[in-house]
Chain A
Amino acid sequence: MSEELILRTENICKSFNGIQVLKNVNLEIRKGEIHALMGENGAGKSTIIKIITGVYTKDDGEIYIDGQHVVIDNRHDAAEAGISVIYQELSLVPELTVTENIFLGHEIMKRGLPDKKEMRRQVQALIDRYGFLLRPDEVVATMGMAQRQMCEILKALSTEAKLLIMDEPTTSLSASETEQLFVTMEGLREKGTSILYISHRLEEIYRVTDRLTIMRNGEVVGVVDSRTVQADTVTAMMIGHELEKTGVRVPNVNHDHCIEVKDLSLGNLLHNVSFKAYGGEILGIGGLVGSGRTELVSCIYGAVKNYKGSITLDGKPVSRSVAKNIRAGFGMVPEDRRTEGFFPQLSILRNIVISSYDRLSSLGFVRAGAESGHAEKAIADYDVRPAMKKLPLQNLSGGNQQKVILARWLSRDVDVLILDEPTVGVDVGVKAELYVYMRRLADKGAIIIMVSSDLAELTEVSDRVLVLHGGTFFQEFRDHKATQQAVLLASSGVAAKEGEVL
């Protein structure tokens, strides 16, 4: 072996409920390198990390640290072996100082009291050794995000971590803070600490990492030198071969019926976003998680109200009240159906009719017959299984829950349907059904806006794709010209040659 390996995994396998999510994963991280891990959502990145850090237990395979075979059954074992994770949601107590945070839970005691002097001395020594811009007595709440992250890293280093795992650490950082973090990482590399770095952003991978492991469908599909590799090669490896296009729909676009968004801005997330969505068309919106996609569609629906700019439907302003918009024919399938979409204890029936009492009640009294007729028809039309209208929704499979939420809107013939990640946690068969319902609605002339991270879905189902990057539209793909690779590149801020730049 030419290079010393800090971590080596050998044929790690893992299944959940009979579905294999990791197949013989071999990961090798050298001493003193920054190693990137990339892959689409669901490729198995977080699963392998969770196995290494003892959150999940592996079904098969071995883990070696420093050439030694180790057994990692829980988080404690992982820490013992020298593996530390820097969590996205930092685990610091804001009210305490840097020193107090670092020694939280394993304080150095002297005559039954914490030995503040000694702890402070040790923290200062660590700071000096790694050259961090931190003061031991600073209260975490008063520090910026980048400094907090440094404090978190310091905490990991204080337990003699040999391998730091950073999962998308830059999502909450500004550009200059990100740069600060990269400098810190490079400093650590010089001292011999290895870092496993997970990110969706290609430019970061180029900037700071040495090697890159790419995963797809639970397997490692390649290990490359991240300084010289081409972006196209990376995305091609992440996606695999292009899927065959299944029957391109020719949309009957009605340019007179449209939602127009003009100069929409929202805090730091969205800057002067403008676009039109037409009747009869399925408009796909792509971009990375956190690029403002969800917020954008929430503004249109009226769920987020404090935006600047204008949104109009056929020239008339769209209300900032969800209730009014629903009466005007809007509907939304939110990203997280558990927290925003459904009522777990309530029946399938209630979950379907909840937004339709304007039609199913007179003077506030519910017409029971109309209510159950409406629900029964929707259950039959959209093939909800089991077709038991009294069953609480929490007992349905994910796909059927999603059908119920879609049925809530489709059963009232919505005119504007917004879908945010409509098929997350939905199995393949149901997915295809959902697409059929969406297309049918578009054929009736409705405006459909679909946000999705699933590239296959985005490129296959949408008639037109807009990609958000850095709070504004980066690229538009018309007439089914979007390819998974081009969308992926655009999402990470690299313009593809084919599409037309806005």
Chain B
Amino acid sequence: MKISQKITRKLITLALIVILSAIFAATTSSFLKLINIQEILRVAAYTGIICVGVSFVLISGGIDLSSGGIICFTGIICCRLAVLGLPWPLVVLAAVVVGAACGFLNGWLITRFYLNDFITTLATGFVFSGFGLLAIAKEPSGTVMSQTIRNRGFLMLGKHVGGFYYIVIAWVVLTLIAWFVQTRTRYGLHTCATGSNAKSSEMSGVNVRRMKVMNFTICGACCAIGAAFTVAYQQTAYLSLGSGMGFDAVAACVVGGVMLGGGKGDAIGAFLGAVFMTIVTNGMRKYGLDTSWQYVFEGAVILIAIMSDAGFAVVSARRLKAISEKNANEEALMEAQKGGGAQ
């Protein structure tokens, strides 16, 4: 049976997840415990929801490193509003609106002033974290005050039902919606086309600037959703919320086969990438390796992922070259026959 490259890439990630899980399960006593699996899923869901948003930006050929800043800012907003006693749908809505506005700002800056998205989102990430610091509750003396959320409705978001945290359910739902949008709607296909070749897209009638702005906006909104669930789970928000997530989410997407530079990948790949990265981190911790080694392994995983993608490209290029050569030969033959017929 012929399986498309898209599916092969996902099966490989899935197989690696299974193999790695089996190794960790066999060599550590606590990996396979229900509570650990719940924890893995919860952590993966946090990264995964961000990855959903980041995958949109990556597929459209951009990159967003400001997710950490947006998470910090919107998380702190959630905390403040929840402490005020607002009902949870309003709190989440407010966070999503602010997150989307942050994303929109990214997209607008990049398309309006023709900026490089890497540097722009790196810069706005700092700005958004700064907004977080401005928004956080402070003592009259100016020092940061830690607030504990007692808003029952909001805290519900951090709980679980039937063993599944709500954030995990949200993650799965968001991933499926994103996957559908990316592969089955005009919007998603225009996003993919923009990432594949922006100039061609423009000449084909795709509004490239609008696509870019929209995708950054979606990414900002996803960050806010991830932040809301995480703040509800931790019952408070703090300044380091979301730090490092900008890079982690991009890395997880890349591991899941979403190509940097655009045009390839989808939310399912990003989902698998998030699971994989979380399992690696969790397993390392089970081995008792300290953080430095975790970093080394995470970095190595990303390198291996992009190297294998490059290898993938070489192999498939060879295979397809063979097809097109065969095709060219047939054409030449036809040409010769035509010429022969005319004489």
Q: Which residues of A contact B (CB under 8 A)?
A: 301, 303, 322-323, 325-327, 332, 334, 339-346, 350, 354-355, 357, 361, 364-366, 368, 385-386, 388, 390-392, 394-397, 399-400, 408, 427-430
Instruction: Write the chain B residue with the least CB distance to A342.
Output: B200
**Are the CB atoms of B185 and A361 closer together than 8 Å?**
yes
**Are the CB atoms of B197 and A397 closer together than 8 Å?**
no
Give bound CA distance, A357 to B187, whole Å: 10
**Are the CB atoms of A364 and B186 closer together than 8 Å?**
yes
12 contacts between A and B (CB under 8 A): A301-B203, A322-B202, A322-B203, A323-B206, A340-B199, A343-B196, A343-B263, A354-B206, A357-B186, A364-B185, A386-B327, A390-B4
- Chain B residues lying within 8 Å of A322, measured Cβ to Cβ, are 202-205
**Are the CB atoms of B184 and A368 closer together than 8 Å?**
yes
* Stretch of B72-80, B139-147, B148-156, B318-326 on the interface side: B318-326
Which secondary structure dominates chain B's binding surface? helix
**Are the CB atoms of A365 and B189 closer together than 8 Å?**
no
B70 within 8 Å of A (CB atoms): no
CB distance from B231 to the nearest CB of A (A): 33
CB distance from B178 to the nearest CB of A (A): 14
Give bound CA distance, A332 to B184, whole Å: 26
CB distance from A379 to the nearest CB of B (A): 13
Q: Which residue of A332, A350, A365, A396 is within 8 Å of B203 (Cβ)?
A: A332
- Chain B residues lying within 8 Å of A430, measured Cβ to Cβ, are 331
- Chain A residues lying within 8 Å of B192, measured Cβ to Cβ, are 346, 350
Give bound CA distance, A355 to B327, whole Å: 27
- Chain B residues lying within 8 Å of A339, measured Cβ to Cβ, are 197, 199-200
- Chain A residues lying within 8 Å of B323, measured Cβ to Cβ, are 386, 388, 391, 395
- Chain A residues lying within 8 Å of B338, measured Cβ to Cβ, are 429
**Which residues from 285 to 343 on chain B have a C-beta closer than 8 Å to any C-beta of chain A?**
317, 320-321, 323-324, 327-328, 330-331, 334-335, 338
- Chain A residues lying within 8 Å of B263, measured Cβ to Cβ, are 343, 345-346
Give bound CA distance, A392 to B323, whole Å: 11
**Are the CB atoms of A342 and B202 closer together than 8 Å?**
no
Give bound CA distance, A303 to B199, whole Å: 10
Contact with A along B164-191 (1 / 0, CB 8 A): 0000000000000000000011110110
Q: Which residue of B4, B197, B205, B317 is within 8 Å of A326 (Cβ)?
A: B205
Give bound CA distance, A468 to B250, whole Å: 50
Give bound CA distance, A299 to B114, whole Å: 22
Q: Which residue of A332, A343, A390, A397 is within 8 Å of B193 (Cβ)?
A: A343
- Chain B residues lying within 8 Å of A392, measured Cβ to Cβ, are 320
- Chain B residues lying within 8 Å of A408, measured Cβ to Cβ, are 204
Contact with A along B204-222 (1 / 0, CB 8 A): 1111000000000000000
**Are the CB atoms of B264 and A354 closer together than 8 Å?**
no
Instruction: Write the chain A residue with the least CB distance to B203.
Output: A340
Give bound CA distance, A427 to B329, whole Å: 13
**Are the CB atoms of B203 and A344 closer together than 8 Å?**
no
Most buried by A among B207, B317, B331, B338: B331
Give bound CA distance, A427 to B257, whole Å: 37
Give bound CA distance, A327 to B206, whole Å: 11
Beyond A386-B323, A429-B335, A429-B338, 5 additional pairs, beta carbon < 8 A: A322-B203, A323-B206, A354-B190, A354-B201, A386-B327
Instruction: Write the chain B residue with the least CB distance to A18.
Output: B332
CB contact under 8 A between A343 and B200, given known A354-B193, A366-B189, A429-B331: yes
Instruction: Write the chain A residue with the least CB distance to B261.
Output: A345
CB distance from A349 to the nearest CB of B (A): 10
Instruction: Write the chain A residue with the least CB distance to B263.
Output: A345
CB contact under 8 A between A397 and B327, given known A332-B203, A368-B184: yes
**Are the CB atoms of B196 and A344 closer together than 8 Å?**
yes
Counting residue pairs across A and B whose Cβ atoms lie within 8 Å, the total is: 102
**Are the CB atoms of B184 and A365 closer together than 8 Å?**
yes
CB contact under 8 A between A397 and B335, given known A355-B205, A361-B185: no
Give bound CA distance, A219 to B189, whole Å: 48
CB distance from A320 to the nearest CB of B (A): 13
Give bound CA distance, A344 to B61, whole Å: 14
CB distance from B22 to the nearest CB of A (A): 34
Instruction: Write the chain B residue with the least CB distance to A303.
Output: B203
CB contact under 8 A between A364 and B187, given known A343-B263, A392-B320, A429-B331: yes
Give bound CA distance, A354 to B185, whole Å: 12
- Chain B residues lying within 8 Å of A355, measured Cβ to Cβ, are 204-205
**Are the CB atoms of B327 and A366 closer together than 8 Å?**
no
**Are the CB atoms of B184 and A366 closer together than 8 Å?**
yes
CB contact under 8 A between A361 and B202, given known A339-B197, A391-B320: no
**10 A-B pairs with the lowest CB-CB distances in the bound complex, closest first:** A395-B320, A326-B205, A343-B196, A357-B186, A323-B205, A361-B186, A355-B204, A395-B324, A354-B204, A345-B263
CB distance from A406 to the nearest CB of B (A): 13
**Are the CB atoms of A365 and B185 closer together than 8 Å?**
yes
- Chain A residues lying within 8 Å of B193, measured Cβ to Cβ, are 343, 346, 350, 354
Instruction: Write the chain B residue with the least CB distance to A396.
Output: B324
CB contact under 8 A between A303 and B190, given known A342-B197, A365-B185: no
- Chain B residues lying within 8 Å of A343, measured Cβ to Cβ, are 193, 196-197, 200-201, 263
Most buried by A among B189, B192, B202, B204: B204
- Chain B residues lying within 8 Å of A340, measured Cβ to Cβ, are 199-200, 203
CB distance from A98 to the nearest CB of B (A): 32
- Chain A residues lying within 8 Å of B334, measured Cβ to Cβ, are 429
**Are the CB atoms of B185 and A397 closer together than 8 Å?**
no
Give bound CA distance, A366 to B324, whole Å: 29
Instruction: Write the chain A residue with the least CB distance to B259.
Output: A345
- Chain B residues lying within 8 Å of A400, measured Cβ to Cβ, are 327
- Chain B residues lying within 8 Å of A364, measured Cβ to Cβ, are 185-187
CB distance from A351 to the nearest CB of B (A): 9
CB distance from B241 to the nearest CB of A (A): 34
Give bound CA distance, A301 to B187, whole Å: 23
CB distance from A374 to the nearest CB of B (A): 13
CB distance from A427 to the nearest CB of B (A): 8
CB distance from B232 to the nearest CB of A (A): 32
**Are the CB atoms of A323 and B324 closer together than 8 Å?**
no
**Are the CB atoms of B185 and A350 closer together than 8 Å?**
no
CB distance from A136 to the nearest CB of B (A): 36
Give bound CA distance, A334 to B330, whole Å: 28
CB contact under 8 A between A385 and B196, given known A332-B203, A334-B203, A346-B263: no
Instruction: Write the chain A residue with the least CB distance to B325.
Output: A397
Instruction: Write the chain B residue with the least CB distance to A362.
Output: B186
- Chain B residues lying within 8 Å of A334, measured Cβ to Cβ, are 203
**Are the CB atoms of A341 and B184 closer together than 8 Å?**
no
**Are the CB atoms of A323 and B200 closer together than 8 Å?**
no
Give bound CA distance, A301 to B205, whole Å: 10
CB distance from A303 to the nearest CB of B (A): 6
**Are the CB atoms of A397 and B324 closer together than 8 Å?**
yes
Instruction: Write the chain B residue with the least CB distance to A334.
Output: B203
CB contact under 8 A between A357 and B189, given known A346-B263, A429-B338: yes
CB distance from B117 to the nearest CB of A (A): 20
- Chain B residues lying within 8 Å of A346, measured Cβ to Cβ, are 192-193, 196, 263
Give bound CA distance, A325 to B197, whole Å: 20
- Chain A residues lying within 8 Å of B201, measured Cβ to Cβ, are 343, 354
**Which residues from 1 to 47 on chain B have a C-beta closer than 8 Å to any C-beta of chain A?**
4
Instruction: Write the chain A residue with the least CB distance to B264.
Output: A345
**Are the CB atoms of A344 and B189 closer together than 8 Å?**
no
- Chain A residues lying within 8 Å of B189, measured Cβ to Cβ, are 350, 354, 357, 366
Instruction: Write the chain B residue with the least CB distance to A332.
Output: B203
CB distance from B331 to the nearest CB of A (A): 7
